[in-house]
Amino acid sequence: MKRAVVILALAGCNDLLDQRLAIVDEPRVLAVIAEPPEAVPGTSVDYAIVVAGPDGPIPAAPAWAYCAAPKAPTEDNVVSPACLGDELVVPLGDGPVVRGPIPMEACLNFGGDTKPGGFRPRDPDPTGGFYQPVRALLEDAVAFGLTRIQCKLPNVAPEISVSYDRTYSRNTNPTLEPLALATVPADSDVELRARWPVGTAESYVFYDRASQQLVVRRESLRLSWFATGGTLPVDATAVAESDPATEVRTTWRTPAAGPAWVYLVLRDSRGGIAVQTTAVTVQ
């Protein structure tokens, strides 16, 4: 069977995407979750995959591997195409959950460390982060997750580097409160309300290159909505860095009577992920 490629990138907070993506009418990878979502090279991370189907969550035991192929600056993709092959990967094992140490060369391959030969350092993402790709190979799909790696700040004054290392707090995964939804009427507008605890959007130290100073920023969040039937007006709702909201809402036009599922995926701007699945009876 030909493998479909599913790329799970860092979630940009965009709530203007095609709302048809919100309806799960076939198996779909919703997330590759790293615990912790940010780590120092050499420390271990646990990985799990979340696969949604029209009849509920689908158990999966992928073959896991770290990608060891840096992406060229000219490549407009999340990972290098070489990560699809078997030559430039580091196998981690098979199973619903695996554990593996972040490669020691991660900051050299994917971070701001400069390789020999006069190469310029890689640019961080808008939050100042660098990411080690991890591949999850399924029977009919291949998915990639991105684990944030803590690397040295490139091209900064020594005192700023020391201060950054001393004050930076690594990211933790967000959490979602239970969705209060069990039985809903058919063919009706039902409010979906996703909630998370205060403090879920964490503050972190960021190096502002314009001012050449360390500043404190707050994570932005994005909540992706999924259902196995009916319609949703948007596929995601964004919460900006300056927004202290601890919940977002949307309206679900429910399907005809029968069983249904609602999936929520909360992502923070530093790569953390929380997933919640809820069985719903439509009557």
Residue-wise pLDDT tens digits, 121-157:
678 999 999 999 999 999 888 999 999 999 989 889 9
pTM: 0.91
Both tokens of 190, joined, read 């039902």
- Please name which of 281, 280, 282, 260 lies closest in space to residue 53, comparing C-alpha atoms: 260
Q: Which residues pair with 221 in a beta bridge?
A: 239, 268
Give yes or no for residue 160 having a pLDDT over 50: yes
Per-chain mean pLDDT for the chain: 90
- Lowest-pLDDT range of 111-115, 204-208, 239-243: 111-115
Both tokens of 53, joined, read 């189907």
| Dist CA 282 CA 92 (whole Å) | 41
Both tokens of 153, joined, read 């700040």
What is the per-residue pLDDT for 154? 84
At 114, the pLDDT band (50, 70, 90 cuts) reads: low
At 94, the pLDDT band (50, 70, 90 cuts) reads: very high
| C-alpha atoms less than 13 angstroms from C-alpha of 60 in its C-beta half-sphere | 27
At 120, the pLDDT band (50, 70, 90 cuts) reads: low
Three-state DSSP at 159 gives helix
Instruction: Give the containing element (helix H, strand E) for 14.
Output: none
| Cα separation values, 276 from 168, 185, 223, Å | 29, 21, 11
Instruction: Give me the domains of the chain, ranges plus CATH numbers.
Output: 4-282 (2.60.40.150)
What is the per-residue pLDDT for 68? 94
For the segment 190-207, what is each residue's pLDDT rounded down to a tens digit?
999 999 999 999 999 999
Give yes or no for residue 253 having a pLDDT over 70: yes
At 15, the pLDDT band (50, 70, 90 cuts) reads: very low
